[in-house]
Amino acid sequence: MAIKEATFKFNLPIFETDRLRLRPFNESDLNNLRTLETDFEVVKYLGNGQIRESEETLNYLKKHFKDYQKYGLGLYAVEDKITGAFIGRSGLIPWHFNGRLEWEIGYTLMKSSWGKGMATELATFLKNWAKANMSLNYVVSLINAENIKSINVSKKIGMDFWKEVEINGHKCNAYRVFL
């Protein structure tokens, strides 16, 4: 499957934490995303909780390219700094709800990276980066009410339950932290 649009060149920052590198997605990440999005345990708390079809993954990647063009940020590929292996996706994601633009700290990791503190490492970094570099009062995390592990990550970085919201026809809980 190929991306039929012109190759996008983005001048976006690359971020690093102690163990991880966050870089903008590119066309070659389609297979990495397919691997991530075809694992039921990984996707069960995302959107409708279903594995995405190939075309949906392609459209998802194109959405991120559009976010890069429009906002200069979005969801990034996450790599292990030492091995360069793709381990998931994370970033500051623009969403429109409540009649306004909201910024979400989001992350989805391969199962092999679960339980190692990487989600907390990413969320902490993104919260601190947003505080230092964006003119925002707060950031949110949109979490399925049954996703206890992500709820715990949000609490570790100081987030509290805010309210229930609907995104793309799916209800989830919004947690937020003031910056």
pLDDT exceeds 50 at position 168? yes
pLDDT exceeds 80 at position 4? no
What tokens appear for 4 in the block? 């039929």
pLDDT exceeds 90 at position 157? yes
**Contact partners, residue 84, CB within 8 Å, separation at least 6:** 21
Tell which wins on pLDDT, 37 or 119: 119
pLDDT digits (tens, 9 = 90+) for 20-79: 999 999 989 999 999 999 998 988 888 777 788 888 888 889 999 999 999 999 999 999
Task: Quote the CA–CA distance of 114 and 112 in Å, as a whole number.
Answer: 6
Angle at 162 between CA 131 and CA 18, to 5 degrees: 35
Q: Which of 163, 109, 172 is nearest to 142 (CA)?
A: 172
pLDDT digits (tens, 9 = 90+) for 126-153: 999 999 999 999 999 999 999 999 999 9
Q: Averaged over 115-133, what is the pLDDT?
A: 97
Domain 15-178 sits in CATH at 3.40.630.30
* Domain extent listing, the chain: 15-178
